[in-house]
Amino acid sequence: MDFELSEEQRAYVASAREFARSEFRPHAAQWDQAAIFPKDALKAAGGLGFMGMIVPEAAGGLGMTRLDASLIVEELARGCTTTAAFLTIHNMASAMIGKYCQASVVDTWCPGLTSGERLASYCLTEPGAGSDAASLRTTAKRDGDVYRLSGTKVFISGAGDTDVLVVMARTKDEGSRGITAFLVPADLDGISYGKKEDKMGWNAQPTRQINFDDVAVPAVNRLGEEGQGFSIAMEGLDGGRINIATCSVGTAQQAIVDAVDYVQNREQFNTRIADFQHTQFQIADMLTELVAARQMIRLAASKLDHQDPNATTYCAMAKRFATDVGFKVCNDALQLFGGYGYIREYPMERYVRDTRVHQILEGTNEIMRVIISRQALMGGALEVIQ
C-alpha cells in the first residue's frame, strides 16, 4: 500500500497551493467581512480547470478521480474555506449535468460551467426535508414537453448569483423512488429568491431560499430517467462528504501553520509561548489528529474511486471524523493566539466560523453515525475495517 503522492499529484498540489496563495488568501478576509461572492476568482480557478475537476472529460471537464480532486481542494481551502467549499458544490452539480444530461444540454451548459463563466447551485434541502432528503415535497409534473416545477428549497449556496440550478423534485409519490433531477436555468419565469441569509460563517458565498411557482422546465433538461434523482443525489453526497471533509482539513492545516508561526514569535513571562510544554503538546495533538483525518479522507476517496461496495460508509466516516477534527484544530489554534485569536485582525476566528457548518451540511455528523452504525449492525463491520 503506497501512501506517497505521484509526481503528477504533487504537481496538482503545487499548482493549487500557489493559486490559493495568490488569488484566494490575500482577499479572504475582505470577502468574508463584506460578504463578497468572488466570481472573478472562481473564473480564474476555471482557467486552471478547477471548476470542472470531476466533470467527465467528454463534457469538457478534467474527469479527475476523487482522490486527485481532494488534493486540490485541500490547498484551495487553505486560501479561503468558503470559496473552496462553493467550488466543490459547483463541481458536484456540474458533474451531475455532464454525466446524466442529454448531449445537447451538456453542449449548451458544460463549457461555461467548466470554465467558471457560469456557476451552478445544487438544490436538495427543503424546509421540511433536511437529513430526511427522501421526504422532499417540491413537485415536477409532466405537461407535454415541459415539467411544471413548484416548491421551495432552502440553504442553497450561491442562490441568486448562479446561472443554473440542479433541482431534486418529486415526479411520483413513491418515496425516494419518486424523485427526479432537473437542470433549471436560474432565471426562468416563476423562480424567486429569498433574502441573503445572515450567517455565522461562509459569508463569501450567498445562501438563499428559492421558490418555484409553476416553473416550466423543458423535459430535455431532466437528468437521467424519472425516479433516478435520489440515486443521483446520494452519489453526489458521497463525493460531497469527501469535499467538505477536505475543506475542513485544508483550513485546519493553515490554522496550524499560522499558530506555529505565532507561538514562535510571541513571548510571555520572558519565554516564547512555543517553549511551554503545554503548547508543544497541544501542537503535537493538533497535527497528529489532522494527519489522521487527512489519511481517512484519502482512503475514503480511493474507495469511492474504485467503487468499493462500502464506499458510502467510508465517506461517512471521513466526513464525521475530519469535520470534527478540523473544527477542533481551528478552535485550539485560536486558543493559542489568546485574545488576538478572537479579533478579526487575525484569521483564526474566521477559520472557526467557517468550519463549524461543516459538521452540519452534506448530512449532519449525527446522520454520519447512523450510516456507519447501520453498516456494523447489518453485519458488515468486518468488511468496512479491512
Q: Do the beta carbons of residue 60 and residue 110 sit within 8 Å?
A: yes
Structure-derived torsion over alpha carbons of residues 56, 60, 64, 68, reported in degrees to the nearest 10? -150
Where are the alpha helices (H) located in the chain, listed in sequence order? Answer: 7-19, 28-34, 39-47, 66-79, 81-100, 103-115, 229-265, 277-305, 311-336, 348-356, 365-375, 381-385
3-state secondary structure of 48: coil
Can 362 be counted among the known catalytic residues?
A: yes
3-state secondary structure of 215: strand
Q: Which three cell numbers stand for residue 109?
A: 451548459
Place of cell 426535508: 129
Please state, in angstroms and as integers, the Cα–Cα distance from residue 46 to each residue in 31, 91, 115, 211, 342, following that order.
Answer: 19, 11, 4, 29, 34
Where does residue 157 fall: left (phi above 0), alpha (psi -120 to 50 degrees), or beta otherwise?
beta
Could you say which DSSP state residue 174 is in? S
Place of cell 427543503: 126
Identity of residue 197: E
Q: Do the beta carbons of residue 368 and residue 300 sit within 8 Å?
A: no
Give 146's strand partners. Answer: 143, 218
Task: Pick the catalytic residue from 23, 74, 289, 362.
Answer: 362
- Side-chain half-sphere CA neighbours of 24 within 13 A: 27
Catalytic center residues: 362
